[in-house]
Structure 1
Amino acid sequence: MRFPPTVFKALGHPTRLAILGWLKDPGSFPPQDRPAEEVGVCLKHIQARAEVSQSTASQFMATLQRADLVTCTRIGQWSHYQRDEDEIARVSALIGTSL
């Protein structure tokens, strides 16, 4: 099984790896208008937890999305992110560790 280099690039930054860990428990983020378990976590909450600018948070999430590790749902002007558990399971099996 081969994965594109984008997967390993995405996993190669400690903050992106931390974000994937945080998204395991979307309920740990502040409440949103719609439950994070259903629509994902709003970028503004990810940004706040990561303590980075909005543009940096957007770049982190775009990298994770290009690697198919997260999916994005747009609700109005906001982007909400969820882990792609199927893809993460495939990557985890390949590298021999859980993400």
Structure 2
Amino acid sequence: MNDDHAALIEVFKTLSNPHRWQILLWLQAPQQHFAELAAQSEREPHPDADEYDICVGAIASKSGLAQSVVSGYLAALKNAGLVRSRRLGQWTYYRYDPEGAAQFMQRLHAAFQHTRKT
């Protein structure tokens, strides 16, 4: 097994957890999945955050999971290249990374093409 295959397997392991998978899907369409939470929030979002930036607390609230668990799941998704984070003040915001997801799909396609040729 080469390094590219090992990296692909690590992404699949990350996505095999149903909570991480659900969080990724929510982050892919944040306006749809977090609009209600934003309306109910007593805290103003950071002025530099936009509608694609979702804080850990909002994800924890929606999922019903502890914030520490959600932080760990987001770290795994970030390490897999599927989400990006940015720090604004005391908050860390996450968003889906379409370029990272596209790179994963390209690597997966290349692995299948390589396997076909051998």
- Structures share a fold, TM > 0.5? yes
- In structure 1, the partner of 2:90 is 77
Choose from 57, 81, 97 the match for 2:70. Answer: 57
Deviation, structure 1 residue 57: 0.5
Name the SS of the counterpart of 1:36 in structure 2: coil
- The TM-score, its normalising length taken from structure 1, stands at 0.81
Structure 1, unmatched stretches of 5+, are: none
More helix by share: 2
Choose from 22, 25, 31 the match for 1:27. Answer: 31
Separation in structure 1 between the aligned mates of residue 67 and residue 96 of structure 2, nearest angstrom: 20
Deviation, structure 1 residue 6: 2.7
Q: Which amino acid aligns with 1:87?
A: G
- In structure 2, the partner of 1:88 is 101
- The TM-score, its normalising length taken from structure 2, stands at 0.69
1:5-55 deviation line (CA, Å, top 9, x unaligned):
431121110110011111111113132623222xx1111111111110011
Separation in structure 1 between the aligned mates of residue 57 and residue 105 of structure 2, nearest angstrom: 27
Separation in structure 1 between the aligned mates of residue 88 and residue 51 of structure 2, nearest angstrom: 12
Separation in structure 2 between the aligned mates of residue 27 and residue 59 of structure 1, nearest angstrom: 23
Separation in structure 2 between the aligned mates of residue 26 and residue 82 of structure 1, nearest angstrom: 8
Choose 2-11 or 49-58, whichever is displaced more. Answer: 2-11
Work out the number of aligned pairs and report it. Answer: 93
